[in-house]
Structure 1
Amino acid sequence: MRPQHIAWMIFLIPVIAVHGAYAIGWWEGVAFQCNPYIDGCTTISRAAREGNAIFFFRALMMPLAALLVIFWYLQQKWLERMTQKSQLHVFILGSIGALFLILYVDFLGTEGDFNRFLRRYGVIFYFGLTVLAQIFSINTLHKLGDKIDSTMRRYIYIQLTLIILCWLLGMGNLLFKEIGFSWADMMENNIEWHFALYMWLHFPFVALMWKRTQFAWQFSHRN
């Protein structure tokens, strides 16, 4: 399997898991029938834990955590090849985020305040550390300047735009909750769906950059 295939899987698996779980809940009549990207009628967690959807969600998201660790290892090695500098921090941040994803998925659908606490902070740190690893990756590539071609720079600018959107959504969510708008909960749900999608959209552009630079990795040697 080529490295770019793993990057594509990191994008496709959560998209299929989240939307597939919501579709199962809709089909079984236990999920809100709306467009969560517009109406904000449900959270990703609530959509994934209703009915049989949770089994579908867990079956995809648990392996995703393992693939994320592999992805961030490959990203570290690729960035080191591009910069000739250590990028261990990218691997550490991304991998810890993947571990928090396991925590979140494992406690999804369970009852109790402590389990709810673990679930909530599991997803917060998964999102936060993943985005932070993405930011460090973008910053590292941006510093290369003219050493990368215009197509690569275009991919980086798209990734940067996605990160800025995630940041604006996060700040907007905090602002709405602090002001105490009556529709703040609905907007928080809406923001969660968009934030997750924009974060996942980062990975296809990594796949395109890996392919463009002919990145290949074998555990026995570096190409």
Structure 2
Amino acid sequence: MPAAVPSRLPLWPLPLLIALLFLVAAHAAYLLSIQAGHVPACVPYLEGCVSISRAARHGDGNHLFRLLVIPCAVLHALVWWLARHWLRGGRLMLVLGVMSAIALACYATFLGTEGETYRFLRRYGVVVYFGFGYLAQLALMRRASRTDALPTRVLTWMLWIAAAMLGLGIANVVAGLAVADPLAKDRWENIFEWWLGLLMVGWYGVLGIGWWRQAVRISLQTDA
């Protein structure tokens, strides 16, 4: 009988691919929507003239966004499943991460559709993706710090990103209460959304760096 030969594959490209796919999807969709005249042109991180959802809601930009973000959601779930095995535990972390991935898939699937049900699903997708994804990230950092699974510098980067996301969330609530002008309030919400999305996927990029530095791999059995 042929012998089983272990094959070890590095995991670091997966979280980096999450960051790359999401960034390309959001920004490329926005550029296509600008070219088609669906949205105004601006620097959304500073001017907030458009949200991520509106930037990817119409035409070719919508098709491209779905094409890239739905596989990105699958990668989210895979990364959290692998993280649980890597850390040898963390059931709650896995549940939160997978629910976040499902919410992202729902958001991308129903983006560009009309009706109250579809608007609810899009809104649900955004809130659950960011909320549950953030909690899953906190759970991973907590478990990794206890087990020394990641370098201290990588954990510090993750902590700073998590703190920045929390600060943006608080600032968004404050702006919603303090700003009376609806147009100004929308601009601030859009700015916060773009930065929050950047930080959220940037965290996965840092996880990829940590897995690369720690040489985290998965073992597969193949027949020689």
Q: Is the 8 A contact 1:10 1:67 kept in 2?
A: yes
Point out where structure 1 has 5 or more consecutive residues left out of the alignment: 81-85
In structure 2, the residue matched to 1:155 is: 154
The answer to whether the aligner puts 1:2 opposite 2:36 as a matched pair is no
TM-score by length of 2: 0.89
Counterpart of 1:30? 38
**1:165 aligned residue:** 164
How much has 1:219 moved relative to structure 2? 4.9
1:148 positional shift: 6.2
Partner of 1:194: 195
Percent identical residues: 32
3-state SS, counterpart of residue 41 of structure 2: coil
Secondary structure at 1:218 match in 2: strand
The answer on whether the counterparts of 2:23 and 2:198 sit within 8 Å (CA) in structure 1 is yes
Question: Structure 1 residue 217 and structure 2 residue 195: aligned?
Answer: no
Q: Secondary structure at the match of 2:56?
A: helix
Runs of 5+ consecutive residues of structure 2 not aligned to the other structure: 1-8
Contact 2:168 2:192 in 1 (8 A): yes
The residue type paired with residue 62 of structure 1 is I
Q: 1:30 to 1:138 in 2, by over 3 A?
A: same
Deviations 1:133-171 (A, max 9, x none): 111111122234xx468xx11111111111111111111
Counterpart residue number, 2:56? 48
Question: Equivalences for 1:42-121 in 2 at 5 Å?
Answer: 42-80=50-88, 86-121=89-124
Q: How many Å separate the matches in 2 of 1:171 and 1:107? A: 28
SS of 2:65's partner is helix
Larger radius of gyration: 2
CA positional deviation for 1:49: 0.9
Of 133-142 and 211-220, deviating more is 211-220
Q: Residues 135-146 of structure 1: matches in 2 within 5 Å?
A: 135-144=138-147
* Structure 2: distance between partners of 1:136 and 1:72: 11
2:178 aligned partner:
179
Q: Distance in 1 between matches of 2:121 and 2:205?
A: 30
Distance 1:219 1:96 in 2: 27
Higher strand share: 2
**AA paired with 1:79?**
L
- Partner Cα separation in structure 2 for residue 123 and residue 155 of structure 1: 27
Q: C-alpha root-mean-square deviation of aligned residues, in Å?
A: 1.6
TM-score after normalising by structure 1: 0.90
The CA deviation string for residues 88-134 of structure 1, in whole angstroms up to 9 with x for no partner, is: 22111101111111111111111112211111111110111111111
For residues 11-53 of structure 1, the C-alpha deviation after alignment (integer angstroms, 9 at most, x for no partner) is 1000000001001111222221001000011110000012210
CA distance in 2, matches of 1:219, 1:123: 35
Q: State the aligned residue count.
A: 212
Distance in 2 between residues matched to 1:117 and 1:41, nearest whole Å? 23
Moved over 4 A (4+): none
Q: Distance in 2 between matches of 1:165 and 1:181?
A: 25
1:30 match: secondary structure: coil
Any idea what SS the aligned residue of 1:36 has?
coil
Larger proportion of helix: 1
Higher relative contact order (CA closer than 8 Å, sequence separation 6+): 2
